[in-house]
Amino acid sequence: MRKPNIIAVLKQLGKEVVDTAPAINSGGCGVYAGHVAAMLQFVEGVSDVCVRIGAMWVSEATLNKAEVNSILKENLPRTGNVGKALSGSGVVNGHLIVEFKYKDKLYRCDAHKVAKASPEPQFESEGYTIRLYKGFLDADTCIDYADEPEHWNSWFNRDQIPTVVALIEKHIGRCVAV
């Protein structure tokens, strides 16, 4: 049996998640990004899966001097908390976005949009241009970060997390090579 196209699956998943948890991109983006990235690692034809941190109001100079991987390597053992490790080094998390390659093309997505990546380090979603920091989070680090409730907007209903995760597993699970 032929596996569904992962891009179409992600678009369908995003619509269902937004219908279920409308504030997913305003406080639940880490949950979505971490769990989608974790599942995408098992989809045939998908590679280089990671989560990118973006912000809309951060200067280019700040974006260019902060490198997420180095900051985490240096600060995470000391803080034991992804959010504190990042914010203590000046990284402002405005949004988390999944990035991956599929059929040799680079894509970026959140719950509202799946698109081929622009050559610029940015992502357009919901009318905003989100500029991306250098470096990335792996899926497990992103999930750990999302589990830290103090770093997320209070209007995202965290009781929706199990439902969101179940939807991600259901949809992307159809594409996983067995």
Q: What is the pLDDT of residues 113-126, one digit of tens each?
A: 999 999 888 898 88
Q: Does the pLDDT at position 160 exceed 60?
A: yes
Helices and strands: H and E segment counts in the chain:
7, 6
| Structural domain includes residue 178 | no
Q: What is the CA radius of gyration of the chain?
A: 15
Number of separate domains in the chain:
1
Beta bridge partners of 101: 47, 106
| Structural domain includes residue 1 | no
Place of tokens 């995003």: 14
Place of tokens 């380090």: 121
pTM, 2 dp: 0.92
Place of tokens 């989809």: 43
| Structural domain includes residue 40 | yes
Q: Dump pLDDT digits (tens) for 35-59.
A: 999 999 999 999 999 999 988 776 6
pLDDT cut 90: percent of the chain above it: 53
Structural domain of residue 25, as residue ranges?
6-173
Closest CA to 96 of 154, 153, 136, 47: 136
**156, 32 Cβ separation under 8 angstroms:** no
